[in-house]
Amino acid sequence: MIENLALGAMLFGTALDERRSFELLDRFVDAGGVWIDTANCYAFWADPTGFGGQSETLLGRWLARRPGVRDRVRISTKVGCEPTVAGRFPESAEGLSAGAVRKGIEASLRRLGTDHVELYWAHKPDPNTPLEETVAAFGELLSAGTVGRLGCSNYPVWQVERAGQTARAHGTAGFTAVQQHHTYLQPRPGTGPSVVHRFGAVTDEVLHYLEHHPDLELWAYTPLLSGRYTRADKPLPTEYDHPGTARRLAVLDEVAAETGTNRNRVVLAWLTGGNPAATPIVGVSSVRQLDEAVAGVSLKLEAGQRERLDAAL
């Protein structure tokens, strides 16, 4: 069983058709994969309607056609980013009011064809809803057994801390996982990755917080920079254009040669074996890419290799 890897289903049902999506899902389960990550808004930007739900709907069809597979997988989905008006994101995002959370989980369960999900995320902070209201709404879902655990994505550290304090004060369950962008390369100081929300990138502060809160898991999205570690046709974004990137890539190539692998596998091994350990969410479009991801999280780095990777700045 592979529990330290999540299959990202963001583009299932839109950019990836049913045949390819089913092929990847089947392969993932056959390889021992457990976690499948999606969201109610996936992928509104890739569908002519301007609304999401395609990924969850496809997953629901896959589960219905694979008797018994629901007991072998764990589903992670999110609420908060689905547009309420086509073509007007983020200003029309559903948010995280109590009503939006209840409506969101009901629609997600209907599309997925299940009565519960194992992990339910607040997709991004909602500045228009008191955090206390969101925490209470999520706690109600956990108490009802509709969701197994709670997580927050793209949250600043102070809101993660306040959400935990609020949950404890009111006797409700809090977040047990955070989901943010995390990878081996680091953007140039003073900049942020161009692929994430405002507070979506893992920083040293986030890592320090998690080191002191072992009850919180770290899930990492876009860990392989959408193929940019290994594909010459996909150059790194400009925020990675600095001397530290060259130094890190050099060590990455050294360790890849020593392990007989490649950059992608070493990055995934670095993430899963770190402190705190991360669960990478990999979005793949081929069986070959999926097999490589499975091999990456199975790779064990030697202590000296990890020290060299960490020391390159």
Evaluated on CA atoms 285, 288, 291, 296, the torsion sign reads: negative
User: Would the pLDDT of 174 be above 90?
Assistant: yes
pLDDT band at 195 (very low <50, low <70, confident <90, very high): low
- C-alpha–C-alpha distance, residues 116 and 74, integer Å: 10
Check whether 106 has a pLDDT greater than 90.
Answer: yes
Whole-number pLDDT of residue 191: 81
Ordered structural domains, the chain, with CATH: 2-311 (3.20.20.100)
What's the confidence (pLDDT) of residue 194? 73
Average pLDDT over residues 269-294: 97
Secondary element (H or E) of residue 120:
strand 117-122
Mean pLDDT across the stretch 208-225? 97
Q: Render 141-179 in DSSP notation, one character per residue.
A: HHHTTSEEEEEEES--HHHHHHHHHHHHHTT-----EEE
Task: Tokens for 192, please give them.
Answer: 């942020």
Query: pLDDT value at position 241?
Result: 93
Specify the DSSP element, H or E, that contains 3: strand 2-8
* Residue 136 predicted with pLDDT over 90: yes
What confidence score (pLDDT) does residue 58 get?
Answer: 98
pLDDT value at 193 more than 90: no
Higher pLDDT residue, 231 or 193? 231
Question: Which pLDDT score is estimated for 192?
Answer: 76
pTM: 0.96
Rg (CA), the chain: 19
